[in-house]
Structures are given as structure tokens and as C-alpha cells.
Chains A and B, each alone.
Chain A
Amino acid sequence: MKRLEAIPRVSTPLAAATVALLALALAGCGPSGPATQVNQPTGTVPTSNYTGPAPQTVDVQHFQVSLWNNIRSTDRCGGCHHQGGQSPMFARSDDVNLAYQAALPLVNTSQPGQSTLVLKVGSGHNCWVASAQACSDTMLTWIQNWIGGGAGASEKIQLVPPPQQSVGGTKLFPTDSTAFQTLLWTPILRQFCWQCHDPNSPTPQAPYFASSDPNQAYLEAQPKINLDDPASSRFVERLANESHHCWATTSGGGPDCPGSAAKMLAAITAYANTIPVTTVDPTLVISKALLLQQGIIASGGSRYDADTIAKYEFKEGSGSIAYDTSGVSPEADLTVSGNTTWDNAWGVIFGEGSRAQALTTTSQKIANLIQTTGEYSIEVWASPANITQTKADIVGYSGSDAARDATLSQSATQYQAETRSSKTDTNGDPPLLTSMTGNFAQAALQHIVLTYDPVNGQKIYVNGQFTGDADPNGGGSLANWDNTFALVLGNETTGDRQWLGEIRFLAIHDSALTPAQVLQNFNAGVGQKYFLLFDVSSVVGIPESYIMMTASQYDNYSYLFYDPTFITLTANAQPQNIAVKGLRIGINGSIPTVGQSFSTLDTSIGPPAYTAANGQLLSSVGAVIGVDLGVTNDMFFLSFDQLGSQTHVYVEPVVPPNPPTTDNTPQPDLGVHLFAEMNASMSAVTGVPVNDAAVAAVYAAEEQSLPAVPQISSFTASEQTAVSQLAGAYCSELVNKQQYRDAFFNSPTLDANLSGAASFFNTTSNRSIVITPLVSSLAVGTTVDPTYATALQNELGALLGRIPTLSVSPAPTVATATQAACQAALGSAVLELK
């Protein structure tokens, strides 16, 4: 459980505010979970070689098991902070009780993340791996494992007034690094700092602000430079106050820290002077400004990690290693390869041809520890790139396509689990699939947990909830697991089951998490969250009044803001009817137009919505705001259409209307009849009704082959064929059914000769029996241009004259020739075109 605690700047009694913010913290941190659990012993240094006094208390024993065993080796803290070595001697191996006494001042039990031990290794001090962040996280895990059992599990979040920074008074690092190179990098950093802070130096030490690559140096130097207040730059303070690698400022002289600091200050001041102040519209109603990092850290401490045997938080942000910070040795660090991108909000994005894989030797602990308990959990925060990918492995402990111990994968909108057990084959099949109708896999950040226990077998939880899908195999024994496999993410070890998406967190536990533990870890969330206290005191007239936002870097391209809450640290403050309208999040002096979710806010601060205990939540939705200059530089503020009595009318930019698109290219003046028109036209011409059974059957078969669009340029040969088929149906009925035939041709002569030879049409008069009614029904009207009728007459006459000469079997009859003439007429442009 996490709590917030106000640390007011003023010295007046603030019991009410403290209580209020404590309650607020409870509300702001989501559902409370159980206290942090005692971790299992994870010592990697054998304790059997310890021959000193036994732990005097239970807490010392926890210290020994969880922290001391892990740090006392000579390649870690024990290399210096041993007995008789550098103080404090918290890693001494001769007496664990003395080490405990030395370690206590170095641990912050209320905020473990602020422990000296964590901060020290996090700054790169004797970190035993290449990533100070990984050392920091691992140290934090060890400390939490210790104090979780011995010093209480709750973590307090202390609300403290933020720095006072005005919007628009901010200088922002320009994209161009030329001035930096000229004024700082070349004359100072490359002169005096390169022997450590250059990745190519003999003793490389991050950050690499003295890198031979000026762009890398520029990015790494920025956090050490305060453009608004050069004297408070870390570069200056390090020299002036900490005598860190000062240099001689006079020829032949010794290291001169005041002189070095002065020279550094002069250089930074000169550089800062080249950068203009970013101004903001003075008419805006705004809060004070904050960087994300100036917020109060709001995450951590509420996860269930008692049985975690491998953990990856992907905080590295660069490089090819994702560190296992579980604290359980050996660390199964992942080598990230292929088309991957680091997410600065903690995560790795897997593209085509990518994976992250641990060595089989370090992965071995997974099989060994899980086989001991007979159960396990794979817990991952993942964001699938799409919901169409199949055979896409998210996390696996596997040897190949055909041999695995455990794999969690995606199959379109389903998640799939395969666990090798006594109930399955060596590939873990048959698999457990979440239901297709459940659509559990979404292209969104999801918390997915696969658990296995000997009774239930596999269970999959998505976003804290069991999917309800039972393992077809049930539970079994894991005794047949192969410990020569490798932990692999985003793919199969053979590289042919690519998963696309982002993994932001992975933990492997050697227990089957209970539903409550799954929910607890889901509620703990992922990534670093901050409470940003935007000062609005001067606007609302109440000292130390803030709009507090919960904020985080959402991914590489945006920030997430939510739970905007009005609070005040001033005791006994009673805000009344403070209007809040149109809240917008500003960044670096301007207000982005995209992603503003609070711009429609229209409420009033005051009781009963406002309480001293909870403040007042202003909105329940969140806003995603795009990154501007980067997480270390983006300075946020809030703007209001109205706050209290101050107003600013937001003017919507006027967008000119879209001009019509004009295309004067001549278009065809004709088109073809569509399917139903064609049908109705043939019916109208022949007198055969559309619901005649024979016709209706052909129409039903041919309907979708007839023209569906009128554009003559789209008319195709297949459509002409369908037209001909339909015309054939109508003409067949017309010729063969007497009532239609008589109504149309009205010729006893034709009736009498239907079965006779087609030579019947060798005479003009007989041809006219058929041609005349066809022409008059198609070329209707008394004023019809005679050339049209003549053209039609001539074509049909030629056709009827030609049919008797055809050498076909059986020989054409009057009926077949009549139908042919009818079909030719109906299937012609005379009827098709409009």
C-alpha cells in the first residue's frame, strides 16, 4: 500500500492537510493491495562461508538473507565497504550485526527508492553491471525484500511544494548543438572530462557528455546544465562543492576547484546567453511550470513479488541489454537484437526480425526453481501491434519450434499458452487458447499473466481477470522440463515465430499467482508515474494551491495526464465557488492542439465536491499529449479559459472552407442500365413479367453479374454475357409461351411455322413478322429518328437472313431464329444504354 503525505513548507500545524492528502493518496493510487511480501531467500553468495556472529534479531536475519548476502562480495559493495575498509562498512563480512548497524542509515524505510544505497548505485557508483539503472533497481529489490519483512511494507508518498518556475521563463535546449560544441564541449568537456566520460576512454563512465560524438555528448550533457540558472548546473556544483576531478587553471599549478568551477560557470553562462527565453502569451491564465521529473514519484511498492525469479522493467532506454533486476542470481539478462526500439517510458518494441534472449546458462535458474515448486507464472505488460498476427510468441522458455517448457503467445485475438508437463507433449501441446469470442488480445497495453499449478494446469489472466478458459490438459508434473532452454521474448529461439508489439514489463514467478495477487500486480500498473503539482496559488488566491496531475511518460511519443485534482497544502483553506473552465496542458510555452481532454472542463471548486480530505477531482478522463523536446526538457504548465475570476477567451482558429475540386475533363454522356433496370426494361419490351418463373430464375442467377455501376467505362465483357443470358431467358419465354408470343408478334403465320426450318426467314415479309414488332418496341415513338429504326431493322434482317445458312445441328428452326433475333435486339445497346 502506498500513501501520500504532505510536507508543507509552512510551519503551521497542518494536521488537516496531512490527513487530507493521505486520503487523497489512497484515492489516487488505485485499489490498495496487500503489503509487500517477504521475498524468498535469494542470496547468491553462499552463506556457508560466514563464520561470524549469528544474527541477533529477525530483522538482521532478513537483512542478511535479502541484502547483505548479495552485496558483500568483493565485486560489489564488499570490495570497498568491508571491515577495515571504507566507511560505512555495511558490507563487512566479519559480523552481520555490525553490517546491519552500518546499513540502517543508508536505507529509507518509508521511501525505499530514496535510500542512499539505491541512489548511490543509481548514480553509477560502483555499479556491478553496465547499467546504473539496473543496479539501482536490483538494490531496491533487495532492500524491499529486507524491509518488507522486517520494517513494514507501506511506502509513503510525500507531497512537497514544487519548485517555483514561471511559464515562459524557460530556456530550452535548441536542436542545433553548434553553440554547445563551441562554448562547452570543445574547450572544457573534451579537454578535462574525456578520460572518463567518453565511451571510448580507458575507464568509461556514464554519462558520456565528453564523448567524441558531439551529438551524443550534447544529449548526455543537457541534464547537467541548467540554462535558467547556470550556477546550479550539476557541472558547476560537482566542481565547486564536491571537488570532482578539478583541473589546473594555471600553468604548472595543481588542481584548482574554485577556478575550474568558475571556468565551467562562465562557459555555461555564455552558452545560456545564446539561447532566447521561450515566451508565453501573456494574456493566458496559467499555472506555474514543471518538468515531469519535478513531480513526486508515485509508483512502486504495491506489487506482489515474493516469488519473482526473473524481472525485467526495460528501463535501460538504449543499448542491447535488458537487465534482470529480480535480484535472483544468476541474472538472466536479455540480449536485445534485431529490429527493436527502446521505449523511454520503459519498454522494448519488437519489429520484424527481432527478439530478446537470455543465455541458456543464466536461463537455467528458471527451470531449476520452477521444477522445485512445480508451478510458475509468467507476468507481462504487453501491447500487441495488431490483432491479426498468429503464431507470435510473446514470452517463451524454449528450445525450438518443437520443444519448449513454457510459452505465452498471441493468435489473433486469442492468447495461447503451452506448458510442457506430464499431461502434454514436449512442445507443451495441446495448448490452452483463450476463447475466440472473448477477444482478449487487443492492440493495447495489457497485463497478461499465465499461471500453472499442478491442479488446474494453465490459467490466463488478462488485465487482472481470469479469462475463464480451462486448461484442456489439467495440471500435471513439470518434472520433464528441460533446463537447457533459453528465455526468449518476441520470438521463438529459432526466429520464426515473430511477435510484433511492445513489452513493457516481464516477471517470472516460481509460484502460481493467486487471482488476488494477479489483480494486485495489475493494479500496481507499469512505468513511472509522478504527481505533478501545478501551482495556481496566485490565480485562486489561496497559498499553496495546486492542480495535481498524475502523469507519466506514456511511450516514446507522448505523456499521459490524468486525475486532475485541486488541492491545497494550506491548513484550513476553504475554497468556495472557484470556477474552472477549459483546462489545457501546455508544454514549453505553447499549448498543443492535439490530445487536450480537459479543454471542455466546466466546473466549480468548492464544497461539497471539495473536501479537505480529498481535495476535488476535476475530471475522470485522461489526456495523451505528444512529446515535444524530450522527457528531460519538456516543461509543462496548465492554461485555463477561466480559473477563479481570471479568464482568457480561447479563440478557435478559423479554418477556411475547402474550395470545391473542379475537374473540367469531359465525361461520357452515356451510361449503361443497371441490373434491375436491365431486367425491367426487358420485361417492358417483351411483355414477359419479371416474376415469370423461368425469367426470375435466370435473373436470380445473373443479377450480380449484370452492371452494378452506370459508368460506360466500367462495362465489361462478362456483364455483356450476363445481359445476353437474361435476354435469352426473356426471349425464350416470349417465343415459347403462346400468350406472350401472341401479344407481342400477333402472327398466326409465325405460330404455324415455329417448328419449321429457319429458311422461313428467307423472305422479307416473313422476316418483318419478327423484326417489325421488335423495332417498334425498342425504337418507340412517332418522332423517332428513322435512321435508328433502319439501323436496327437492317441488323436484325441480316441476322435472320444468315441463320438459315448456318451449318449447325440440329438445324435452326423458326423458333430458334426468332429467339436469336429477339435476344440480339434485347442484348444490344438499344436497351443497355441510357
Chain B
Amino acid sequence: MKHRSKNRRHREGLARRATCGACVLALLAAQAAPPALAGPYEQARRIYMRLAGVPPSSTVLQMMENKIATEPGQQGLLDAAVIATDPKYAPDFYDVTLKEFVNPWTNRNQSAFVPFNDYTATVIGMIRDDVPFNTVLSADILYTVNAPGLPAPSAANNDHYATAEADGVDFSTALKQTTQSGEYGLPVQATAGVWTTRAGAAAFFVLGTNRAQFRFTMINYLCHDMQTVMDNTRPTDRIRQDVARSPGGDSRVFLNNCAACHSGMDPMAQAFAYYDFSTTSNQLVYTAGQVQPKYLKNPQNFPWGFVTTNDDWSNRWRSGPNADLGWDASLPGSGEGAKSLGQELENTEAFASCQVAKVFQTVCLRAPTSSTDQSTVANIEALFKQSNYDLKQVFQQSAAACAGS
């Protein structure tokens, strides 16, 4: 920007003045856009704008309007939303909306401004292909980009995905389903959905103690940060040695705060005991049968703490206040490794309601806090589960619900 030409500065000067006019337009549009009585045009346009994130073409808009006009009630709106999520008519639903939707889950800063990566690609692909979303934390699944001129997918770098994004590849058609075991050489039993994608590992298995992977899963997939699941009545036997029981000489801190998270988190995060993200090789490391040293850090902080010897996990939250998360009674509540823990988490009521709430908020631009919205998301959640966890349907139903009337 420092080397702009004089003419360009001049043009931008005009543009800035023009923008003042835009402010007026903004006001006009803001007043006009939410019609008191929205017709098929307004509803179709909103559905498309909310789902695809861009203005529709005249042709697509007309198709949607026709659906709404000819199929009164919710079905017409839903059919219009189906068009707005069809790669043929709305590639930006995948290229733009879903990318913005998923990117924040892939890093600790929860930033959407990150390069396209295998985590985001995998979630977008699962949504596009109606892959049951309750396998997102457990499946041996990966999406790569099928486009010319891209570096090969690699467990050691993100070049394949970053280049695809820079090249403006249309992900709605170019994403190709494959497996982590096949593409990255990870043992099948070690694959666990987005957890074991390269981006997921780079963000949450790097350094630390692997608790971050659990915490951010709670945030991103169960819509609970740790402070909302604190329960200090669970047994404290599985809290690792690195957690001080009397920080600064005050064990009340441990008993009232630390234990409330770690008593539930540590026994579950043990599922990740064989994982690390190497900052040397820049890739996920899985050491079957061998606990990563990060699990044995600072043993003298509390020598009588739990010493991790394997990746057995146990869910202590199946009883107590966090039973409210709605655990699947058909699952055992314990297991070995990340895959089975992923199944434990992705089959909770909280997982289903969280996905619906996230989508509803993305499409309807508000949290479902009103009694009307809560009723709406409850219905959508029921349909989500009935549809074998088809998240694309949740987008469609949310858009239909918020199309205006």
C-alpha cells in the first residue's frame, strides 16, 4: 500500500467518498431487508445468502423461488435450501460458508483466519457427502483435494491444502474421500477422525499434556468449555502427578477448582496417551503401547498422583451432574485409545445439540435462546439423529426455519 500510484490514491479517495453514499445504502437496505411479510423472493434470497454466503444467480434464485411458491409451508423452504447446498448451484456453501464454519475448530486461537487444511477439508467433505457426523471423532477418514498441480498430501506439511486454497480450487467438487491410514500411514486403530488429522494434531497434540485436545473437543463438539462441566465430586484417583494439589500452599484451589475439571478430564484424555505432534518432523507421532513422556511430566508436583501406563480411558462423567450431557447407554463408558473415546463423545445428546446449535447460530445469526428457537432446534436435533447425523440437513432445516415469513 505504500507504493500506490497517485492515480490510484485519487481513485481510492473518490471511493472513500463514495463509501459515504454506501452508508446511506446500508441504512436503506437495513430498513428494507427484513420485510414484515417476506415473500418467496425474500425467503429464497435469504436462504441462499445465509447458506452460500454470496448473492445467488438469477437462475438459481428463480429455482428456489419456484420451490417456495409451489410447495407451501416448510417443505418448499426446505427444498429451496437443498438447492442452496447443492454443489451445482451453491459451491460457495462449501468453499466459503463451511470453511469459515470449521476453520475456528482447527486451532487453539479459534481463529477462522487459518490456511485451509486437512481438518477443515475432512469436515466439509463429510458434510457434502452426508457422512454420518457422529463419526467425526472416530472414523478413519480424510479428504484430499483432487485438482491438478497440487503437491501430494503429506503427513508432514499442509502444502497440499494451502496450495489448493491459493489456487482457488472449488472444494465443492474437488474434495475426495480417502483414509488417514492410507494417506498418512497411520494404523487404523490409531485413526480418530479430525483428532488425528494433521491439522488437528498440530494444534492440539503439540507440546503440553494432550489435555488441550480434550478441552477443545468439549468446546467445539459439545459446546462446553471446562468451566461449565466442573464437577469436583468425581473420584480424584486418575488425576496425573503434574497437577499440584496445593498450589501456593492452598489445597482449596485444587479441591474446588483443579479437581473439578481434572477428575473428569484426565481419565478421558488418557485415551491420547500414545499421541504427540513432533515439532521436529512436523507430523503426528503415534507410539502404540508406549505412553508419551508428556503424560509423565513433573511427577514430583504430586508424587501420589496417577501414573499413566497405557491409553485406557474411563468416563467418570456418566454419573453426577455431567450425566446431563446425555451419554449413550449402549456404549461401555470406557475403552482403549482415541477412537473409542471419540465414539463416546460423538454419541452424546450434547454432541447432537451442539452441532445443531452451532449451525443454527451460523445460519440464523443468533443463539437459540428464545423459547421458540429452542423448540425449533429441538426438532432439528431430533431430525439430525433420525437422519443418521446428516449435518447438511441441519443447515437446510435451520435456513428454512430462519427464512422469514
Interface residues of A (CB under 8 A from B): 343, 347, 349, 383-386, 439, 442-447, 462-464, 500-502, 504, 554-558, 560, 562, 593-600, 619-624, 626, 652, 655, 657-658, 660-665, 667-671, 673-677, 679-681, 684-685, 689-691, 696, 701, 703-704, 708, 710-712, 720-721, 724-725, 727-728, 731-732, 777-778, 780-785, 787-788, 791-792, 795, 798-799, 803, 806, 808, 810, 812, 815-817, 819-821, 823-825, 827-834
With both chains docked as a complex, state the minimum distance between the C-beta of B394 and any C-beta of chain A, in angstroms: 17
Asked if A834 and B96 sit within 8 Å, CB to CB, the answer is no
List residues of chain B with CB within 8 A of the CB of A791: 25, 28, 32
B255 is contacted by which of A621, A626, A787 (Cβ under 8 Å)? Answer: A626
Asked if A680 and B58 sit within 8 Å, CB to CB, the answer is no
Query: Measured between alpha carbons, how far is A1 from B95 in the docked complex, in Å?
Result: 71
List residues of chain B with CB within 8 A of the CB of A385: 247-249
Query: Measured between alpha carbons, how far is A803 from B303 in the docked complex, in Å?
Result: 77
A724-B15, A810-B7 given; A681·B25 CB < 8 A: no
Asked if A343 and B249 sit within 8 Å, CB to CB, the answer is yes
Asked if B301 and A442 sit within 8 Å, CB to CB, the answer is yes
Asked if A783 and B41 sit within 8 Å, CB to CB, the answer is yes
Query: Measured between alpha carbons, how far is A555 from B12 in the docked complex, in Å?
Result: 67
Chain B interface SS verdict (over half): helix
Asked if A824 and B19 sit within 8 Å, CB to CB, the answer is yes
Asked if A781 and B366 sit within 8 Å, CB to CB, the answer is no
CB-nearest residue of chain B to A826: B22
Complex interface bits, B224-266 against A, C-beta within 8 A gives 1, otherwise 0: 0000000011011100000011111111101110010000000
**B26 in contact (CB, < 8 A):** yes
9 contacts between A and B (CB under 8 A): A385-B247, A443-B248, A595-B232, A660-B374, A667-B365, A720-B23, A725-B12, A828-B22, A834-B53
B18 is contacted by which of A560, A708, A823 (Cβ under 8 Å)? Answer: A823
**B131 in contact (CB, < 8 A):** no
Asked if B321 and A655 sit within 8 Å, CB to CB, the answer is yes
CB-nearest residue of chain B to A689: B168
**B179 in contact (CB, < 8 A):** no
With both chains docked as a complex, state the minimum distance between the C-beta of B36 and any C-beta of chain A, in angstroms: 11
List residues of chain B with CB within 8 A of the CB of A799: 18, 21
List residues of chain B with CB within 8 A of the CB of A831: 55
List residues of chain A with CB within 8 A of the CB of B254: 558, 624
**B329 in contact (CB, < 8 A):** no
Query: Measured between alpha carbons, how far is A691 from B166 in the docked complex, in Å?
Result: 7
Asked if B15 and A728 sit within 8 Å, CB to CB, the answer is yes
The 5 closest A-B pairs by CB, nearest first: A622-B304, A502-B249, A829-B26, A677-B53, A385-B248
A669 is contacted by which of B49, B323, B404 (Cβ under 8 Å)? Answer: B404
Query: Measured between alpha carbons, how far is A701 from B28 in the docked complex, in Å?
Result: 29
Instruction: Give how many B residues have a beta carbon under 8 Å from the other chain's beta carbons.
Output: 94
Asked if A824 and B21 sit within 8 Å, CB to CB, the answer is yes
Asked if A781 and B168 sit within 8 Å, CB to CB, the answer is no
List residues of chain B with CB within 8 A of the CB of A684: 54-55, 92
CB-nearest residue of chain B to A525: B303
**B174 in contact (CB, < 8 A):** no
Asked if B244 and A816 sit within 8 Å, CB to CB, the answer is no
B374 is contacted by which of A662, A691, A782, A788 (Cβ under 8 Å)? Answer: A662
Asked if A810 and B55 sit within 8 Å, CB to CB, the answer is no
Query: Measured between alpha carbons, how far is A778 from B54 in the docked complex, in Å?
Result: 10
Query: Measured between alpha carbons, how far is A593 from B33 in the docked complex, in Å?
Result: 56
Complex interface bits, B24-48 against A, C-beta within 8 A gives 1, otherwise 0: 1111111011100001110001100
CB-nearest residue of chain A to B112: A708
B58 is contacted by which of A711, A780, A823 (Cβ under 8 Å)? Answer: A780
Query: Measured between alpha carbons, how far is A660 from B58 in the docked complex, in Å?
Result: 42
**B187 in contact (CB, < 8 A):** no
Q: Which of A444, A620, A623, A788 has the most CB of B within 10 A?
A: A444
A555-B251, A674-B53, A799-B21 given; A788·B237 CB < 8 A: no
List residues of chain B with CB within 8 A of the CB of A622: 245, 302-305
CB-nearest residue of chain A to B371: A662
**B10 in contact (CB, < 8 A):** yes
CB-nearest residue of chain A to B45: A781
Asked if B15 and A819 sit within 8 Å, CB to CB, the answer is yes
With both chains docked as a complex, state the minimum distance between the C-beta of B41 and any C-beta of chain A, in angstroms: 4
List residues of chain A with CB within 8 A of the CB of B370: 662-665, 667
Query: Measured between alpha carbons, how far is A662 from B376 in the docked complex, in Å?
Result: 13
CB-nearest residue of chain A to B368: A660
Query: Measured between alpha carbons, how far is A690 from B28 in the docked complex, in Å?
Result: 28
B54 is contacted by which of A595, A599, A677 (Cβ under 8 Å)? Answer: A677
> For chain B residues 116-136, which have a beta carbon within 8 Å of chain A?
none
List residues of chain B with CB within 8 A of the CB of A725: 12
**B13 in contact (CB, < 8 A):** yes
List residues of chain A with CB within 8 A of the CB of B332: none
Query: Measured between alpha carbons, how far is A447 from B303 in the docked complex, in Å?
Result: 13
**B71 in contact (CB, < 8 A):** no
A724 is contacted by which of B22, B95, B256 (Cβ under 8 Å)? Answer: B22
Q: Which of B25, B41, B46, B259 has the most CB of A within 10 A?
A: B25
Asked if A594 and B100 sit within 8 Å, CB to CB, the answer is no
Q: Which of A731, A819, A827 has the most CB of B within 10 A?
A: A827
Asked if B236 and A596 sit within 8 Å, CB to CB, the answer is yes
Asked if B21 and A383 sit within 8 Å, CB to CB, the answer is no
Query: Measured between alpha carbons, how far is A799 from B18 in the docked complex, in Å?
Result: 7
Asked if B32 and A681 sit within 8 Å, CB to CB, the answer is no
Asked if B18 and A594 sit within 8 Å, CB to CB, the answer is no
List residues of chain A with CB within 8 A of the CB of B374: 660, 662
Query: Measured between alpha carbons, how far is A655 from B404 in the docked complex, in Å?
Result: 39
CB-nearest residue of chain A to B369: A663
List residues of chain B with CB within 8 A of the CB of A343: 249
A728 is contacted by which of B11, B49, B365 (Cβ under 8 Å)? Answer: B11
**B351 in contact (CB, < 8 A):** no
